[in-house]
Chain A
């Protein structure tokens, strides 16, 4: 049984098709990241999974149950973009309160220390965005959930806090917890997730392991000198699209494998001024931008 099973999900807001025919399966004990431009349908999909919004059509199952089943409430930890916590209460009081809703919550001091919350003695409304996100995360984790559903959980977090976040997610994965989350940090997700689903215009347009998605990324390289690319095109062949996208920044599209990478490096070394090293770059972010056409929304 998959932790999350979505088949042909469609959700409309009036005439707008927010999600149209979306399919997604997340295996238990894995970390799945949803990537997509703003308005792609990520949050709407999570809302349906959490039973906050009905599906117009399609089939959705969460831990083998209907998303609106009240029995799911203690099995899922949630961070919502617009799901707040009591503004006047202090972090320790908030997390302690949520702990009392469970029969066997995590030890509070341990969790607060892991998330760096133990010394925050200000009301929730006076915390920074990153601190508020960490409190939300503590609330999501306190009940030992089987599934974490996190909508942009690292928003506002500094790099150190993001590192702690991913360490916690890794620990939970080792204990069999499934995480489904959205983020706007593709490369961060690329190094830690088991599965990445790219959502665009309400549909999953790619769903695979990060390494495989990165293979679809164009290759970028830079050179201080202007290069005449016509001979490189001859070296690589017609199936490769080579272009100088910005002055000194070059992109090669196509199925670039190791021999082609070596050929490109050798060609640039022979045509540059020979003094600078050529850096070949290929990343999940580039793969993502390629898939979504660089669309910001």
Chain B
């Protein structure tokens, strides 16, 4: 048991943490319900029943995918980080070679990995069940950029919640925000059916929907996401506490 190991490379440490966290998330039943079952159910209901209303297959896919992004990058992230903070897991990981920055990068990578899986599943389901496949490369690129920016913005706000509130309060607030945005943020109910439709474009979820649906180059929704990300990052770096 000779002393004197060295740390693995930064990329390997971050990747190892992301894989470990992703595995833990996928083994968590409540998390699977939130990040997989609900978005898939929303997509299938929209594609196969009258509940979808006048929505096209593409619009149904965008709604389900935006919901998946919200569930993974915000609600799931806030809850898991809040409880990890409460149990001292963040402190232990911060003291390991991973460090604080590595941990934050790994958490963002977890969101991106899970969302990549969700996207693939939802696109395949839309193609198989609804018969629609995305074919506009420029639109796909814009949608991808929108998702990445939304992950950044929603992660920042999730960390703000998790790092400033008690774990139980984080759980309650994260779920409440999820429900509010799901029904009032232009996801389940189309934004133009809502009385506050002009306002939804300024929400992260509304901006994400617009980034995926508006013709290239839709700079306004991308800018809105950058603003949410910047403010969230600023507040999280100011108010996040590693110890409960």
Q: Are A and B interaction partners? A: yes
Q: Give the interface of A toward B (CB within 8 A).
A: 50, 52, 70, 73-74, 76, 78, 80, 82-89, 93, 97-98, 100-106, 139, 141, 143-146, 171-172, 175-177
> Which residues of B are found within 8 Å of A101, using beta-carbon distances?
7-8, 13, 16-17, 96-98
Instruction: Check: B4 CB closer than 8 A to any chain A CB.
Output: yes
Partner of A88, one of B5, B6, B16, B28: B28
Question: 5 smallest A-B Cβ distances: which pairs?
Answer: A84-B88, A84-B87, A144-B5, A74-B7, A100-B16
A97 and chain B: residue at smallest CB distance? B20
Q: What is the 8 Å Cβ interface bit string for chain B, positions 1-33, against chain A (1 contact, 0 not)? A: 111111111001100110010011001100000
Contact yes or no, B16 A80, CB < 8 A = no
Given A50-B95, A100-B16: A84 and B5 interface contact (C-beta under 8 Å): no
* Distance between B29 CB and nearest chain A CB, rounded to angstroms: 10
* Distance between A135 CB and nearest chain B CB, rounded to angstroms: 11
Instruction: Check: B57 CB closer than 8 A to any chain A CB.
Output: no
Given A80-B91, A144-B5, A175-B1: A100 and B12 interface contact (C-beta under 8 Å): yes
A110 and chain B: residue at smallest CB distance? B1
Interface of A is mostly: loop
Contact yes or no, A144 B4, CB < 8 A = yes
> Which residues of B are found within 8 Å of A139, using beta-carbon distances?
92
**Bound-complex Cα distance A138 to B97 (A):** 15
Contact yes or no, A73 B1, CB < 8 A = no
Partner of B5, one of A74, A83, A85, A93: A74
> Which residues of B are found within 8 Å of A104, using beta-carbon distances?
5-6
**Bound-complex Cα distance A242 to B92 (A):** 50
> Which residues of A are found within 8 Å of B5, using beta-carbon distances?
74, 102-105, 143-145
Instruction: Check: B124 CB closer than 8 A to any chain A CB.
Output: no
Q: Give the interface of B toward A (CB within 8 A).
A: 1-9, 12-13, 16-17, 20, 23-24, 27-28, 83-84, 87-89, 91-92, 95-99, 243
**Bound-complex Cα distance A279 to B53 (A):** 91
* Distance between B100 CB and nearest chain A CB, rounded to angstroms: 9
A28 and chain B: residue at smallest CB distance? B3
> Which residues of A are found within 8 Å of B24, using beta-carbon distances?
86, 88-89
**Bound-complex Cα distance A113 to B182 (A):** 49
**Bound-complex Cα distance A87 to B95 (A):** 18
Contact yes or no, A74 B6, CB < 8 A = yes
Given A80-B91, A86-B89, A88-B28: A102 and B7 interface contact (C-beta under 8 Å): yes
* Distance between A172 CB and nearest chain B CB, rounded to angstroms: 6
**Bound-complex Cα distance A101 to B17 (A):** 8
Partner of A83, one of B12, B88, B97, B99: B88
> Which residues of A are found within 8 Å of B16, using beta-carbon distances?
97, 100-101
* Distance between B83 CB and nearest chain A CB, rounded to angstroms: 8
> Which residues of B are found within 8 Å of A145, using beta-carbon distances?
3, 5
**Bound-complex Cα distance A158 to B220 (A):** 63
**Bound-complex Cα distance A101 to B97 (A):** 6
Contact yes or no, B92 A70, CB < 8 A = no
Partner of B3, one of A78, A103, A146: A146
**Bound-complex Cα distance A139 to B175 (A):** 33
* Distance between A126 CB and nearest chain B CB, rounded to angstroms: 14
**Bound-complex Cα distance A70 to B16 (A):** 19
Given A86-B89, A87-B87, A104-B6: A98 and B96 interface contact (C-beta under 8 Å): yes
Contact yes or no, A171 B92, CB < 8 A = no
**Bound-complex Cα distance A284 to B135 (A):** 78
> Which residues of A are found within 8 Å of B28, using beta-carbon distances?
88
